[in-house]
Amino acid sequence: MAPAQEQFSDRPDGADGNDSAEGGSVPPAFRSAVEALHSARLRPELEVEPTRPPQRLAPYAYALEAAVVQREEDLADGRLVLLHDPAGHETWHGTFRLVTLVRAELEPEMASDPLLPEVCWSWLTGALEARGLPYGEAGGTVTRAGSHYFGALGARRPATQIEIRASWTPHEVRGGVPDTAAHLMAWGDLLCQIAGLPPSGPSDAAVVTLPQRRDPQVR
């Protein structure tokens, strides 16, 4: 995955490029929410690019995938999907929904912490709250999986991977549109935290901005 400003293309590979669903145009609220993602200021360790969104989860969807890279090593990776249903969704309690998958390999001493799942979940909610983002209906799972190697692979040290799957409803703040840029930045904070990077202060000017993309992907 290349740096965000170099790799963020007009359309993800394989996208059909349609800007309508069932003959209708893309709702202005969804288009604004996608455009706002491009103003998010992210840490330089984050490499971001668009990817094909999942189908049939909502009438409109847009997806990003990202990796935390330091010294050419991937420390964590994840996907963030923005869903929109103009008619609203009973379980969302809103018209927008954010869905994420985040994964990272952990150091042995951290992997053995019995409170690790609770801590990882608090990283997600804490990242949203630290940026003052109102949200609702958050839910998800934290999974810890260990690998032990044998035979020809016996020289490898045991590895533990943590995986967070979650979704939440971002509150709509301006014209029925949530602050998706801030939610993306909070998600970036989560990725960097699970990768083990120290927090960056508000004075840290080393940030990158997502380049513009012509049209959101519709499903």
Q: What does the DSSP assignment read for 117-182?
A: HHHHHHHHHHHHHHTT--EEEEEEEEEEEEE---GGGTTSPPEEEEEEEEEEEEPEEETTEE-HHH
Q: Do residues 142 and 121 touch, judged by C-beta distance below 8 A?
A: yes
Q: Which one has a higher pLDDT value, 69 or 146?
A: 69
pLDDT in tens, 163-187: 999 999 999 887 889 999 999 999 9
pLDDT of 27 above 90: yes
Residue 158: per-residue pLDDT: 75
107, pLDDT greater than 50 = yes
pLDDT at residue number 91: 92
47-64 average pLDDT score = 93
| Exposure string for 157-186, b = 16+ CB within 10 A, e = fewer | eeebebbbebbbbbebeeeebbbbbbbbbb
